Amino acid sequence: MAEANEFDVYQTDVGYVAVTNEVRRTILEALSKKERDLNELVKITGKAKPTLSNIHMRELLTQKLIEELAHPTDARRKLYRIKGHRIGSSNIPIEQLRGAVKRYVSVSPLAHALPLQQVMDVLLAGGPRSQEVIQRQATRLGELAAPLLAAPDVRELLPRVAAYWEREGITRTARIDLERLGLELDVNPRYAQTKEALKLTATLLAGFLRGVLPKQHASATTAGEAIGPQRVRVSLGR
């Protein structure tokens, strides 16, 4: 159940879109799982077909969040497919988030210069080690990635880090909390097969965040904790 004022942020071919309408959020969530036709979306949303087609689908198409496809077996029907890329959600005012996410795409062409999945595989497969060792290694990894994610402050850095991890297939962003300076993330199952693996992944991500922090936060601590079967919270210590 979405909290009041919560919204999702998507990257599209033409920029960023904050999706505040609950019906459109439901549509995008449904399309993130598979392509669907209008009849399916009517059942999912409970909205009348004219309302869905003339208001919600039209707006999503205009915003380049979805695309319309020909149905493979019925020329009278259309299929809809998600086109935008979800980078997170928040329940803080949109104008506060806009400044924090507006430039993160600029790192996209460089992101794959650091093959994060392969590096994480190596770090997490190294046998039993203390969380302190894992975080120290991850901090160094973050330092190496810092030029790709440079930001003037933490409020701009967090969305960039979240987007980078999502592009690399490490996590899916559940929440970007710019008030408490933290992220809630759903971890790729390959890194969350056991409680211990999830705990180590949370520690590694916290270390990575520490490594990319702007210089004025060099003395700050970071924390990573498992808060669900596959969900972790990574935050900047107070």
What is the per-residue pLDDT across 86-135, written as a single tens digit (0 to 9) for each?
A: 876 666 555 554 444 444 434 444 444 556 776 777 677 655 556 777 77
Burial category of 75 from C-beta neighbours within 10 Å (exposed 0-12, middle 13-18, buried 19 and up) = exposed
Q: Which residues, given as ranges, of the chain have pLDDT below 70? A: 1-6, 14-16, 88-115, 118, 122, 125-130, 216-219, 238
Burial category of 194 from C-beta neighbours within 10 Å (exposed 0-12, middle 13-18, buried 19 and up) = exposed
* pLDDT score, position 13: 73
Identical fold between 7-86 and 109-236: no
Fold topology of 109-236:
Muramoyl-pentapeptide Carboxypeptidase; domain 2 (3.30.1380)
- Cα(168)–Cα(147) distance, rounded to whole angstroms? 16
Domain residue spans of the chain:
7-86, 109-236
Tokens linked to 88:
């997170």
* pLDDT score, position 95: 54
* pLDDT score, position 90: 62
- Domain made up of 7-86: CATH architecture: Orthogonal Bundle (1.10)
* pLDDT score, position 56: 93
Three-state SS for 82? Answer: strand
Dihedral pair phi/psi, residue 151, rounded to 5°: -145, 150
* pLDDT score, position 15: 64
* pLDDT score, position 9: 75
